[in-house]
């Protein structure tokens, strides 16, 4: 593994660890329903920017980690994150040239698909949850997407430039 390859992987790995910490961090009950799906946002960003390195396989592993850490059905988040990664990789060339408002609308659609898949799996397993637990993360993730995009783009540019 070359030194350049390692320098490109560290920002992704660090961002995924931070995303896991943000996902597991306890929040007050009132705000918890609006916790963004950090892994979904990170999978969308990294699959869009580095589709050959970080895509469906990474999403599957992250989903299993998320399922185990949250105690949900094993494979539920893995399935949903794989679909998110596949859709992002499939359309990454288009998404890269979208202006930020259009990209944010696309991320809203992808996050809605992600939550629909979680809703569907919970429905098949007869697990009942209030609607806010599905729509809250979509809204907060969409609102936070421009900040996540700008921050991670800066991190990615800084590591590529050697700063």
Write down the H helix ranges in 71-125: 76-90, 92-97, 100-124
% the chain with pLDDT above 90: 79
Domain range summary for the chain, segments of one domain joined by +: 3-161
pLDDT at 159: 66
Report whether pLDDT(163) > 60. no
Give me the mean pLDDT over the 20-39 stretch.
94
Token pair of 59 as six digits: 């999403």
Contacts of 107 (CB under 8 A, 6+ apart): 41, 44, 141, 142, 145
pLDDT at 146: 97
CB-based contacts of 106-111 (< 8 A; 24+ apart in sequence): 107/41, 107/44, 107/141, 107/142, 107/145, 108/138, 108/142, 110/40, 110/44, 110/84, 111/37, 111/40, 111/41, 111/137, 111/138, 111/141, 111/142
CA–CA distance, 119 with 139 (Å, rounded to integer): 16
Taking the CA atoms of residue 99, residue 89, residue 111 and residue 94 in that order, the dihedral angle to the nearest 10 degrees is 20
pLDDT at 17: 95
pLDDT at 39: 95
pLDDT at 158: 67
Report whether pLDDT(154) > 90. no
DSSP state of 130: -
pLDDT at 104: 97
| pLDDT tens digits, 60-95 | 999 999 999 999 999 999 999 999 999 999 999 999
């Amino acid at each position: 593994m070359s030194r350049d390859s390692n320098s490109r992987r560290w920002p992704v790995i660090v961002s995924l660890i931070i995303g896991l910490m943000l996902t597991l961090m306890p929040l007050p009950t009132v705000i918890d329903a609006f916790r963004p799906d950090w892994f979904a946002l990170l999978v969308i960003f990294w699959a869009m920017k580095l589709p050959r390195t970080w895509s469906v396989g990474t999403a599957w592993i992250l989903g299993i980690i998320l399922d185990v850490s949250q105690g949900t059905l094993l494979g539920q988040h893995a399935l949903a994150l794989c679909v998110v990664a596949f859709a992002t990789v499939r359309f990454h060339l288009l998404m890269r040239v979208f202006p930020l408002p259009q990209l944010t609308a696309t991320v809203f659609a992808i996050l809605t698909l992600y939550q629909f898949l979680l809703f569907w799996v919970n429905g098949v397993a007869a697990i009942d949850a209030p609607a806010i637990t599905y729509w809250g993360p979509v809204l907060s993730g969409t609102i936070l997407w421009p900040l996540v995009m700008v921050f991670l783009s800066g991190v990615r540019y800084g590591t590529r430039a050697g700063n």
